[in-house]
Amino acid sequence: MEDWMYESSLGAALVLMLFFAAYFLAGRTSEKPIYGNYVRSRRLMGAALAVLAVNYGVHLGWRLRFSCPEAAILMNLSTYFLAYWLFSAALTALLDRGYLTRRRFGRHVAGWLAFSVLAAGVGMVVPEGTARRAGMWLLALWLLGYGVFLSRRLIATYRRARRLFDDTHSEDIGAYIRWMSIFTWWAVVYGVSCGLLTFLPERYVFLWVLSSIPFYIYLFCSYMNYLLFYEQVERILEASAEAVPQEGGEGMAVPPAFHAALGEKLGVWMEERGYVSPGLTIEELAERLGTNRTYLSAYIKALYGVPFREWIGELRIGYAKELLVREPGMRVTAVSEMAGFLSVSYFTRIFTEKVGCPPSKWRKTGQAGA
């Protein structure tokens, strides 16, 4: 019964792995040049899934887990090491085109080879017993540390991209890449679990196999859904890279006279409610005010203490409140559109976060008169 559960779960996972890997490696995508980075990322992810599929195939065909458990564990650790790098490289490359270099790729592959050689040495040289088990646990801890290192790098890249969007765009573009953060944290939990589950007694090892199925289904669906937003995100990344102040840019010296002139122009723009323009970017506003995008971003942060997106959102919420009071018969959908929000669901969410209740309830409870 235990063998049957193990082989059935491994077979199901292997079929999914092979399908996802084949699609990522050979699936057709738009031939526009802008999709080149997406294709490269997807192929790296496909390579990671192919590596894992080979691992699953060896386990299923040779039943290593039952014939030679320690060899199976060591092979798993080596496979995960390479898969960790391919996973992290694929996702990081989506947000940082300069991340993948030959030097970096070669360094991580060399690390994997060294790890694999050491794993082979533990399996073939170290005597059976306590010493070998200790060696395997040390390798597992090394793998865990490596996974945390890669995850921290990816999360830092994700957060930098979110800050970039918030500093340069009025809409919540970061929502399109939120799946990367969710997947990364899930990968950390799953990676740690795999490191521990691979040491499970043979009768429970099917749990380790089954845990991979929802993980990789989520990955596949996320990649496919991201294809709908990729071009928009990529163009904003390209346009925003030059618009974000360099490190330390907020503290650059700007003449008071320049601040006064900029503040006056910005005040006129706010009176004209230029912030209700959907999809507004800091580049467009800087061009309208006749200033530099870097100075404008630094000025907004210094004066209002929030990124560009949040500042625009507060202005739009303020105007929406005016409309809710002045036009009691106006539908919330119309208020959302007139205030510059691209969707009523996003407007309702932001309004609730800022005010504490949905716009319809705020209007009914009489808070509008406060």
Residue 319's pLDDT is 96
Residue 146's pLDDT is 94
H-only helix segments in the chain: 2-26, 36-62, 64-67, 69-95, 102-124, 130-168, 178-197, 205-210, 212-226, 230-240, 256-271, 282-289, 293-304, 308-326, 332-338, 344-355, 359-364
The total number of structural domains that make up the chain = 3
Domain boundary among 209, 240, 271: 240
Same domain, 288 and 201: no
Same domain, 121 and 177: yes
φ, ψ of residue 25 in degrees (nearest 5): -80, -35
Residue 293's pLDDT is 84
Residue 195's pLDDT is 61
Q: Which domain holds residue 250?
A: 243-305
- Work out the percent of the chain whose per-residue pLDDT is above 70: 89
Radius of gyration of the CA atoms of the chain, in A: 26
Residues of the chain with pLDDT under 50: 1, 243-257, 367-368, 370
Residue 190's contacts (CB-CB under 8 Å, 6 or more residues apart) are 211, 212, 215
Domain boundary among 186, 210, 240: 240
CATH number at residue 352: 1.10.10.60
| Cα dihedral 38, 40, 44, 50 in deg (nearest 10) | 90
Residue at 164: amino acid letter? L
pTM of the full structure: 0.87
